[in-house]
Amino acid sequence: MRKKLRFMLMIVMVLTLSGCLGKREINDLAMVMAVGIDKGEKEQVKITTQIVRPADSRGATGAPSGQTGDPIWSASAEGETLFDAIRNLSTFSSRRVFWAHNYAIVINEDYAREGIGDVVDFFTRNPELRMRTWVMVTPDEASKLVSTLTGLEVIPGEAINKLFRYNRVSVQAPRTQMIDVQSALSIENVEPVIARVSLTNKGVSNKKPGESGAFDQIELKGAGVFRGEKLVGILDGEEVKGMLPFVEKLETGLVVLECPTDETKKLSIELEDHNFQVSPKMEEGKPKFKVDYAVKGSIVEGDCPLTIKDRPKIENLEKQMEQQLKAQIESVVNKAQSEYRADFLEFGNTFHNRYPAEWKKIKNDWESVFPDVKVETSTEAEITDSTLLINPTRQ
Task: Summarize as ranges the residues that interact with other proteins (CB under 8 A).
Answer: 9, 12-13, 16-17, 19, 21-22, 100, 124, 127, 130-132, 165, 179, 182-183, 186-187, 349-350, 352-354, 356
Min CB(186)–other proteins separation in Å: 3
| Closer to other proteins by Cβ: residue 44 or 124 | 124
| Closer to other proteins by Cβ: residue 124 or 170 | 124
Q: Quick one: which of 28, 30, 25 has its CA closest to 53?
A: 30
| Closer to other proteins by Cβ: residue 15 or 60 | 15
| Closer to other proteins by Cβ: residue 81 or 126 | 126
Min CB(202)–other proteins separation in Å: 25
Min CB(112)–other proteins separation in Å: 21
Min CB(345)–other proteins separation in Å: 14
| Closer to other proteins by Cβ: residue 28 or 236 | 28
Start-to-end CA distance of the chain, whole Å, equals: 100
H or E element in which residue 5 lies: helix 2-17
Min CB(100)–other proteins separation in Å: 6
| Closer to other proteins by Cβ: residue 187 or 254 | 187
Min CB(7)–other proteins separation in Å: 13
Dist. CA 233–CA 142, nearest whole Å: 18
- Determine the 3-state secondary structure of 203 from DSSP: strand
Burial 246-284 (b: 16+ CB within 10 A, else e): bbbebeebebebbbbeeeeeebebbbeebebebebeeee
The answer to whether 342 and 333 have CB atoms below 8 angstroms apart is: no
Min CB(36)–other proteins separation in Å: 23
| Closer to other proteins by Cβ: residue 124 or 298 | 124
DSSP 336: I
Dist. CA 31–CA 48, nearest whole Å: 13
Min CB(56)–other proteins separation in Å: 23
Q: Dmax of the chain from CA atoms? A: 101
| Closer to other proteins by Cβ: residue 260 or 280 | 280
Dist. CA 289–CA 282, nearest whole Å: 9
| ∠ CA 285-191-360, rounded to 5° | 30
HSE-up (13 A, CA, CB side) for residue 159:
23
